[in-house]
Structure 1
Amino acid sequence: MIFSISTLFFVIIIALLIIFACSIVPQNYEGLVETLGKYSKTEKAGLIFIIPLIQRVRKVSLALQPLEISKYSIITKDNAEVSTSLTLNYQVTDSFKYFYNNTDSVESMVQLVRGHLRDIIGRMDLNDALGSTSQINAQLADAIGDLTNVYGIRVIRVNVDELLPSKEIQRAMDKQLTADREKTATIAKAEGEARNIELTTKAKNDALVATAKAKAEAIKTQADAEKYRIEQLKAALADAPDDYFKNQSIAAFKDLAKGENNLIVMDKDNLTQLGNIPAVREIWEKQDQD
């Protein structure tokens, strides 16, 4: 009975030693083996054996990890305060340096990223910074570079998610934007009115020109008609006999004599016709009575 208990106890001890001597390093991890608190070797993923109570394994993930850096303030070149937040993806490339060279490699990397971002934005005006996030991302990625030699980390991607001016600056920008919009609207309205006046004036001028052209055409047509009438009259008169003109002159004298004028100037050839004029006839008749 005593042998059986001792054997069982021994077996349990052996089993516990085997269990504690076995360690599993997961996929995409590395195991840092420490012997009496001192680094001794690096193990890849899989089953490894260590000396219980003397050695232990620190497991470091090599997978790509996201990190969000919360908002913090930065002063631009023109002394404007902006708040920014960014995200990045990093990967452990040297587990030894990552774990042993820094008490917190991730926090050290974050401080380095913040410092570079402050330097980049601090050399830009507010308007340039707000409109150049892609340029800032590229400059920040170049500034960070490969951090393997310092922190055992490589930054795969970095992106500025948000870049906002302070509330006071936002209010001022909103007022400026509103003023610019009102100015643009006023200019557009004035240009529209000026264009309308221009078109209206042009339409009136075109109408006046068209009216003047129509009147000129009408006068020309009337003048041409009158010219034609005169030419036809001249042609007809050219073929008329002399008696026609004499008869026309006598008829004209008769009409003139019927008027209120008493002075008549006549050709000597037509004096024989004076008897047809009432005033002359009356004088002659008076002379005959005397």
Structure 2
Amino acid sequence: MVTYTIVAVLVLLFLMLIIYAIRILREYERAVVFILGRFQSVKGPGLIFIIPFIQTMERVDLRTVVMDVPTQDVISRDNVSVKVNAVVYFRVMDPQRAIINVEHYYDAVSQLAQTTLRSVLGKHELDEMLSERDKLNLDIQKILDEQSDAWGVKVSTVEIKHIDLDESMIRAIARQAEAERQRRAKVIHAEGEFQASQRLTDAAAVLSQNSNAMTLRYMQTLIDIAGEKNSTIVFPLPVDLVSAVMKHINESSNKA
């Protein structure tokens, strides 16, 4: 009876060791295997065997990780306090370095993203944060990728999601935008007046060179006035005609 019990215990222990030794890794998983604490190899995917009590393993997910960066308080270069949050996309490229070179690579990338976000945005003014977001995303992504390369991590994309401002700052930006629109309207109006004055000057120069053109213009003006059905029509006299009459009167007076 004792013999059967010992055999049953040994079989049970053997089955437990077999269950512990057999590991199944999915297509996107890799196993970093250590033998007596020293790195041995990276295995997977599929079915792998681990020698109990001698080998240990760490699972690494190779899929792209979407990490939400917590909201950070940032002071811009022009001393404006804003709250900024972002999202970082990264994946493990080298499982060996991700396990050996850094403790908890996910937390390391998260902390690095927070400090880099504050550092990069703090070098820019508020207007640049609002209008040049793509450039800031690229700058942050490059810094994160360079720093995390030693961990076997590739940072592919960084996107700033929200830039929250105080109510007073929002009102100030609205007033600034309104003033900018008024300035542009005045500039456009002044430019139009300048171009119109140039055209009128050119037209006057052309008309002054040809008296027939002045007469035709005078007749066209009379037609336009008559077409408006006015009860009173004032016929203006051309300056050239008045000058000719006055010249004739002066010559007659001199002869007399």
Q: Same fold (TM over 0.5)?
A: yes
Q: Does the CA contact (< 8 Å) of 1:146 and 1:153 recur in 2?
A: no
* Deviation sequence 1:23-73 (CA, Å, 0-9, x none): 222221111223344433221212111222332221111111111102111
State yes or no: 1:108 paired with 2:130.
Answer: no
Query: Distance in 1 between the 2:164 and 2:10 partners?
Result: 69
Q: Which of 208, 211, 214 is the matching residue for 2:233?
A: 211
Q: Which TM-score applies when normalising by structure 1?
A: 0.58
Q: Structure 1 169/148 Cα, relative in aligned 2: closer, same or farther at 3 Å?
A: closer
Question: Which residue of 1 is the match for residue 89 of structure 2?
Answer: 89
Instruction: Please report the RMSD computed on the Cα atoms of aligned residues, expressed in angstroms.
Output: 3.6
Gaps of 5+ in 2: 191-220, 238-256
Query: Distance in 2 between the 1:91 and 1:112 partners?
Result: 15
CA shift for structure 1 position 141: 2.4
State yes or no: 1:125 paired with 2:125.
Answer: yes
* Deviation sequence 1:154-183 (CA, Å, 0-9, x none): 0111111112333432233345456777x6
Query: Distance in 2 between the 1:53 and 1:74 partners?
Result: 50
Q: What amino acid sits opposite 2:235 in the alignment?
A: K
Question: Which residue of 2 is the match for residue 158 of structure 1?
Answer: 158
Question: Which residue of 1 is the match for residue 197 of structure 2?
Answer: none
CA shift for structure 1 position 87: 0.7
Q: Structure 1 137/148 Cα, relative in aligned 2: closer, same or farther at 3 Å?
A: closer
More RCO (CA 8 Å, sep 6+): 2
Query: Distance in 1 between the 2:118 and 2:28 partners?
Result: 34
Q: Structure 1 148/74 Cα, relative in aligned 2: closer, same or farther at 3 Å?
A: closer
* Deviation sequence 1:195-252 (CA, Å, 0-9, x none): xxxxxxxx9xx7599812399xxxxxxxxxxxxxxxxxxxxxxxxxxxxxxxxxxxxx
Q: How many residues in Structure 1 have an aligned counterpart in Structure 2? A: 202
SS at match of 1:84: strand
Q: Structure 1 125/54 Cα, relative in aligned 2: closer, same or farther at 3 Å?
A: same
Q: Does the CA contact (< 8 Å) of 1:93 and 1:148 recur in 2?
A: no
Q: Structure 1 12/142 Cα, relative in aligned 2: closer, same or farther at 3 Å?
A: closer
* Deviation sequence 1:82-135 (CA, Å, 0-9, x none): 211111111001112212222232232233333333343223221122111112
Q: What amino acid sits opposite 2:99 in the alignment?
A: F
Q: What amino acid sits opposite 1:212 in the alignment?
A: V
CA shift for structure 1 position 16: 2.1
State yes or no: 1:73 paired with 2:64.
Answer: no
Q: Structure 1 214/129 Cα, relative in aligned 2: closer, same or farther at 3 Å?
A: closer
Q: What amino acid sits opposite 1:138 in the alignment?
A: L
Q: Structure 1 42/79 Cα, relative in aligned 2: closer, same or farther at 3 Å?
A: same
Q: Whose helix proportion is higher, 1 or 2?
A: 1
Q: Structure 1 4/142 Cα, relative in aligned 2: closer, same or farther at 3 Å?
A: closer
Question: Of the two, which has the highest radius of gyration?
Answer: 1
Query: Distance in 2 between the 1:107 and 1:6 partners?
Result: 48
Q: Does the CA contact (< 8 Å) of 1:94 and 1:148 recur in 2?
A: no
Q: Structure 1 59/178 Cα, relative in aligned 2: closer, same or farther at 3 Å?
A: same
CA shift for structure 1 position 4: 4.0
Q: Does the CA contact (< 8 Å) of 2:28 and 2:63 recur in 1?
A: yes
Q: Structure 1 141/52 Cα, relative in aligned 2: closer, same or farther at 3 Å?
A: same
Query: Distance in 2 between the 1:33 and 1:151 partners?
Result: 17
Q: Does the CA contact (< 8 Å) of 1:31 and 1:42 recur in 2?
A: yes
Q: Does the CA contact (< 8 Å) of 2:98 and 2:153 recur in 1?
A: yes
Query: Distance in 1 between the 2:115 and 2:100 partners?
Result: 23
Q: What amino acid sits opposite 1:95 in the alignment?
A: P
For residues 3-14 of structure 1, what are the structure 2 equivalents within 5 Å?
3-14=3-14
Gaps of 5+ in 1: 192-202, 216-290
Q: Structure 1 136/4 Cα, relative in aligned 2: closer, same or farther at 3 Å?
A: same
